[in-house]
Amino acid sequence: MSRRGILVVVSGFSGVGKGTLMKRLTEKYSQYALSVSATTRAPRKGEVDGREYFFRTKEEFEELIRNDMLIEHAEFCDNYYGTPREYVEDQMSQGRDVILEIETQGARQVCRQYPDALTLFIMPPDARTLLDRLKSRGSETEDKMESRLACAVREADCVEQYDYMIVNDDLEESVDQMHGLIESQHWLVSRNRDFAEQIRSELKVFAKGE
């Protein structure tokens, strides 16, 4: 593949099914790489360094920040989380479209550094479906439910900062829609200026020669 990969920023409500969607997308199509975050939190049982997360000490993480080696980072519950630049850049150079699942604030940070990133917001078919999905997770307490809903309301106010939405109703349809959408972005004129320039100069040669 000679074409450069696209950075795809994906956000969406908690419970909307982002994880399942991303997993199926990468299973079904080989052109995608999921970005792997770095974190200072301890690995859980079964988690592998470089697969679920890059596990780093607090000191290592702060060095990553200092050396501008993260595209974005944030602190949650006394732990750092961030997106290593190198992995994203490597995959894009190899022609892979890199999927970065991230909340709305991190998405803004990323877009400042990658203005031509493609931004997608995953929507439920309706609010009731989202509520039911959250409830069916079972383990949710009343308190957690309330805070998730409050969070969803805040996130809903950020939808307009995204380029496209994907309505996650039927999984396979949503996966194909997402793939079609990313694929189409490769044909933006702004991503193909070299090709346009090549055709242009070839035509000029012919026009002189004929």
Q: Residue numbers of the site for a copy of itself (CB under 8 A)?
A: 121, 123-124, 126-128, 130-131, 142, 145-146, 149-150, 152-153, 156-157, 159-160, 162-167, 177, 180-181, 183-184, 187-189, 192-193, 195-196, 198-200, 202-207, 210
DSSP state of 96: P
Q: How far is the CB of 107 from a copy of itself (least distance, A)?
A: 13
Q: How far is the CB of 161 from a copy of itself (least distance, A)?
A: 8
Q: How far is the CB of 145 from a copy of itself (least distance, A)?
A: 6
Token pair for 85: 């630049």
Return the H-helix or E-strand segment holding 86.
helix 85-93
Q: How far is the CB of 45 from a copy of itself (least distance, A)?
A: 33
The one-letter code for the residue type at 156 is A
For residue 54, give Cα distances in angstroms to 32, 50, 154. 19, 5, 29
Token pair for 83: 């997106």
Nearer to a copy of itself, 105 or 198 (CB): 198
Q: Are strands 70-76 and 79-84 parallel, antiparallel or unpaired?
A: antiparallel
